Chain A
Amino acid sequence: MGKNHPNVDPYVVSRVRALESLLLEKGILAPDAVDRVIQRYEADTGPMVGARAVARAWTDPQYRRLLLDDPRTALARFDLDYQMLMVVENTDALHNLVVCTLCSCYPWPVLGLPPTWYKMPAYRSRAVSEPRALLGEMGLAIDPRREIRVWDSSAEMRYMVLPQRPAGIEGLGEAELVPLITRDALIGVAEVRPPAAR
């Protein structure tokens, strides 16, 4: 499983069970709380709200403006009330990248649970100090003429990247665009690629 996942000490599992059983007994944890967490994040794996919002922004200029200027109202169109999100747009002159150097803050309501690499020291340490080198290693070469703007999520504000729409997919509608828009593109460590290149 690589160094992201050293074998977990059985002590950890016992410790979780001990906490879980005590908190159940004290009425703090609901009996179905763990099942509901698994259900929510494991079974509800439909299109991420973030990808759907980006697909709409690419096909509807008014929605794009709304998503950038008033993300809360824009996300309400997808039945999500999320006050804390800022959407930052990639352009020919600018590439945005999101990190949390102090912990692992991440826009869960629009992107789901963060991937492990986002939470590990390698990404958190390097994203602010050498993002161009880091992105290059991750397979994303950014033209030196484009500014790289890193958003360090140090407060409760959360950030999502509005990636550039790739050329050559002008005929695709919103529903066909959604599956092209990856989580990594919404963090800023990838660009969205047209279907042929995938």
Chain B
Amino acid sequence: MDGVHDLGGMHGFGPVEREENEPVFRAAWEAAVLAIQRAGGARGFFNIDEFRHGIERMAPAHYLRATYYEKWLDGVTRLLLEKGVLDPAELAARLAYFEQRPDAPATEPLTAPLPPRPPANAKWAQDVIRETGAAPRFADGESVRTREVHPPGHTRLPRYARGKHGVIHRCHGIHVFPDTHAHGQGEQPQPLYSVRFDARELWGESAESNQAVHIDLWESYLLPGS
């Protein structure tokens, strides 16, 4: 989707603000969001591509002002509701409970013993390579052109690199395809390539000199070049 998350080349965000000795977590709730995201993914309620697309579907203005873990919270909540893991009414009731008790610990409402947890796959987010034996269509050094497309759903072809000429740098193997995996349409694994683009191809007369961008792109994003 052509959303605000697709930031490459946009203007207006000002200088990078670096902070010395930044804490790992600014508050305990940030670590809780990370733990919730890990648990939801590892227990199979959503895959990494659904997770990313869950964040992309935030309201654009909220996306731009939200902190990192606030984005994760918004995306994970959306997915847990969509997947039926949480019921909107039960979430609303629990939210009201904690809004009235800002200092209550998250465990306070516990009354019954915990049910057994489903098995977890700790490497869920990295488990993307599929040895299908498929032969890559493009060879290292071959010229390619990216498709000029504007899919409304999840894609990892950034807007700034559509309809552009590049060169295959290397093939990373056969990887799960995010554009289908984010939408319940299966893994549809296909070759993933590192594609090199000259900055002038991407940014025209505005390009800085002596610069290139390498982007990891799936085979179906690519057409034969020139």
Give the CA-CA distance A103 to B116 in the complex, in Å.
Answer: 34
Q: Which residues on the A side are within 8 Å of B55 (C-beta)?
A: 103
Count contacts on B: residues with CB < 8 A to the other chain: 96
Contact of A30 among B34, B39, B91, B95 (CB under 8 A): B39
Closest to A38 in B: B31
B16 A120 Cβ-Cβ under 8 A:
yes
Give the CA-CA distance A22 to B36 in the complex, in Å.
Answer: 11
Instruction: Tell me how many residue pairs across A and B have CB atoms closer than 8 Å.
Output: 265
Q: Which residues on the B side are within 8 Å of A33 (C-beta)?
A: 35-36, 38-39
Give the CA-CA distance A77 to B178 in the complex, in Å.
Answer: 32
Is A144 at the interface (CB under 8 A from chain B)? yes
Give the CA-CA distance A124 to B64 in the complex, in Å.
Answer: 12
Q: Which residues on the A side are within 8 Å of B52 (C-beta)?
A: 102-103
A155 B175 Cβ-Cβ under 8 A:
yes
A27 B117 Cβ-Cβ under 8 A:
yes
Given that A37-B31, A101-B7, A122-B13 are known contacts, is A131 also in contact with B116, CB under 8 Å in the complex?
Answer: no
B115 A26 Cβ-Cβ under 8 A:
yes
Contact of B114 among A31, A145, A149 (CB under 8 A): A31
Contact of B25 among A2, A13, A41, A86 (CB under 8 A): A41
Give the CA-CA distance A25 to B7 in the complex, in Å.
Answer: 38
Contact of A145 among B36, B102, B210 (CB under 8 A): B210
Give the CA-CA distance A102 to B178 in the complex, in Å.
Answer: 13
Give the CA-CA distance A128 to B150 in the complex, in Å.
Answer: 20
B104 A134 Cβ-Cβ under 8 A:
no
Contact of A156 among B19, B126, B210, B212 (CB under 8 A): B126
A155 B156 Cβ-Cβ under 8 A:
yes
CB of B102 to closest CB in A, whole Å: 6
Contact of B31 among A1, A26, A34 (CB under 8 A): A34
B13 A121 Cβ-Cβ under 8 A:
yes
A41 B22 Cβ-Cβ under 8 A:
no
A positions within 8 Å CB-CB of B: 1-6, 8, 10-31, 33-34, 36-38, 41-42, 45, 83-84, 86, 101-104, 112-113, 115-117, 119-126, 128-134, 137-138, 144-157
